[in-house]
Amino acid sequence: MEVIWYLVLFSFILRTSTLKIITPGQSIKDGETLISVGESFELGFFSPGSSKSRYVGIWYKNIPSRTVVWVANREAPIFDHSGVLSFGNQGILTLLNSTKTVVWSSNTSRTAQYPVLQLLESGNLVAKDRNDNNPQNFFWQSFDYPCDNFLPGMKLGKDLVTGFERYISSWKSADDPAQGQYSLRIDPHGFPQLVARKGSQVVFRLGSWNGLYFSHRKPNTKPSPLYSYQFVLDKNEVYYKCELQNSSVISRYAMNPSGLMQRFLWNERKQEWEIFSTAQTDQCTVYGFCGAYASCNPDRSSPCACLEGFVHKSPTSGDWNSIDWSDGCIRRTPLACDSGDSFLKHTRLELPDTSKSWANKSMSFKECEELCLRNCSCTAYANLDIREGTGCLLWFNELIDMTEFTEDGQDLYIRLAKSELDQLQRKMKSKEKRKAVVIAISIIIATGMMVTMVLLYKRKKNLSNEGKHKEKMELPLFDFATIVNATDNFSTSNKLGQGGFGHVYKGMLKEGKEIAVKRLSKDSGQGLDEFKNEVTLIVKLQHRNLVKLFGFCIKGDERMLIYEYLPNKSLDYFIFDKTRNKLLDWHRRMHVIDGIARGLLYLHHDSRLRIIHRDLKASNILLDNSMNPKISDFGLARKFGGDQTEDKTRRVVGTYGYMSPEYAFHGCFSMKSDVFSFGVLVLEIITGKRSRGYSDHDHNLLGHAWRLWIEERPLELIENTLGDSYIITEVLRCIHVALLCVQQRPEDRPNMSSVLLMLGGESTLPQPNQPGYFIEKNLPSGKQSSSLNEFTITIEAR
* Dist. CA 67–CA 87, nearest whole Å: 25
| pLDDT exceeds cutoff 60 at 738 | yes
The answer to whether residue 450 is domain-embedded is: no
Q: Pick from 395, 424, 453: which residue ends a domain?
A: 424
Q: Does residue 262 lie within any of the structural domains?
A: yes
771 and 672 belong to one structural domain = yes
Domain boundary residue, one of 79, 113, 145: 145
Against a cut of 0.75, is the pTM above it? no
Residues 734-752, mean pLDDT to the nearest whole number: 94
Q: Residues 289, 273: contact at Cβ < 8 Å?
A: no
Beta bridge partner(s), residue 252 = 264
Q: Are the CB atoms for 410 and 386 separated by under 8 Å?
A: yes
CA dist., res. 391 & res. 366, Å (int)? 10
What lies within 8 Å, CB to CB, of 300 at 6+ separation is none
Minimal CA–CA distance to 123: which of 107, 111, 104, 141? 141
Number of folded domains that form the chain: 5
Angle at CA 90, nearest 5°, toward 84 and 92? 40
| Residue 395 and residue 330 share a domain | yes
Q: Count CB neighbours of 695 within 10 A.
A: 15
How far, in Å, CA of 240 to CA of 489, rounded?
60
Q: What is the spatial distance between Cα 195 and Cα 202, in angstroms, rounded to a whole number?
A: 7
Same domain? 588 vs 603:
yes
Q: Are residues 322 and 376 in the same domain?
A: yes
- The answer to whether position 74 is within a domain reads yes
The letter for the amino acid at 527 is G
The CATH number covering residue 638 comes to 1.10.510.10
Assigned domain for 8 exists = no
Residue 54 is given by DSSP the state B
Q: How many CB atoms lie within 10 A of CB 327?
A: 17
When mean pLDDT is compared across 85-94, 236-245, 343-352, 658-667, the lowest value belongs to 658-667
Closest C-alpha to 613, from 704, 676, 550, 698: 676
Contacts for 95-102 with beta carbons within 8 Å, 24 or more apart?
A: 95/56
Range of the structural domain that residue 171 is part of? 148-281
Indicate if 177 and 223 belong to the same structural domain. yes
Output the DSSP codes for 501-521.
TEEEEEEE-TTS-EEEEEEE-
- Residue 533 counted as domain residue: yes
Q: In this structure, are 601 and 721 located in the same domain?
A: yes
Question: Does the active-site annotation cover 606?
Answer: no
Please tell me the predicted confidence (pLDDT) of residue 798: 26
Same domain? For 110 and 237 the reply is no
Q: Which helix (H) or strand (E) holds 686?
A: helix 671-687
The helix (H) or strand (E) run that includes residue 181 is: strand 176-187
Q: 3-state DSSP call for residue 261?
A: strand
Q: Which of 611, 670, 672 has its CA nearest to residue 639? A: 611
Strand 304-306: give its sheet, edge to edge. Answer: 304-306, 294-296, 402-403
Give the domain-ending residue among 511, 546, 564: 564
Q: Tell me, yes or no, whether 353 and 218 share the same domain.
A: no
pLDDT-derived band at 541 (thresholds 50, 70, 90) equals confident
Contacts 24+ apart (CB under 8 A), 303-311: 303/625, 303/626, 305/404, 307/346, 307/399, 307/402, 307/414, 308/344, 308/346, 308/424, 309/333, 309/344, 309/414, 309/416, 309/417, 309/420, 309/421, 309/424
Q: Identify the CA nearest to 270 among candidates 250, 287, 252.
A: 250
Q: Are residues 507 and 359 in the same domain?
A: no
Q: How far is CA 491 from CA 330, 422, 559, 678, in A?
A: 39, 44, 17, 35
pLDDT digits (tens, 9 = 90+) for 546-557: 998 888 888 877
Contact present, 268 and 185 (Cβ < 8 Å): no
Query: Within a domain: residue 640?
Result: yes
User: How confident is the model at residue 522, as a pLDDT?
Assistant: 67
* Three-class DSSP category at 1: coil
Q: How far apart are CA 618 and CA 468, in angstroms?
A: 34
**Who's near 317: CB < 8 A, 6+ residues apart?**
327
Residue 418, annotated as binding a ligand = no
Most confident among 176-180, 488-492, 747-751, 763-767 (mean pLDDT): 176-180
Catalytic pick from 341, 572, 615, 674? 615
Percentage of the chain exceeding pLDDT 70: 82
742 within 8 A of 772, measured Cβ to Cβ: yes
Residues 275 and 304 in one domain: no
The confidence band for 392, taking pLDDT boundaries of 50, 70 and 90, is very high
pLDDT in tens, 454-488: 666 555 444 444 444 444 445 678 889 999 999 99
Domain assignment present for residue 505? The answer is yes
Q: Give per-residue pLDDT as tens, 304-360.
A: 899 999 998 875 444 444 445 778 999 999 998 877 889 999 998 889 999 999 999
The span from the first CA to the last CA of the chain, in angstroms, equals 84
> In the prediction, which pLDDT does 324 show?
59
Q: Average per-residue pLDDT in the chain? A: 83
Q: Which CATH number does the domain housing residue 77 bear?
A: 2.90.10.10
Same domain? For 611 and 737 the reply is yes
Indicate the pLDDT class of residue 789, thresholds 50, 70 and 90: very low
For residue 387, the SS3 value is coil
Same domain, 590 and 577: yes
Please answer whether residues 551 and 475 qualify as being in contact, where contact means their C-beta atoms are separated by less than 8 angstroms. yes
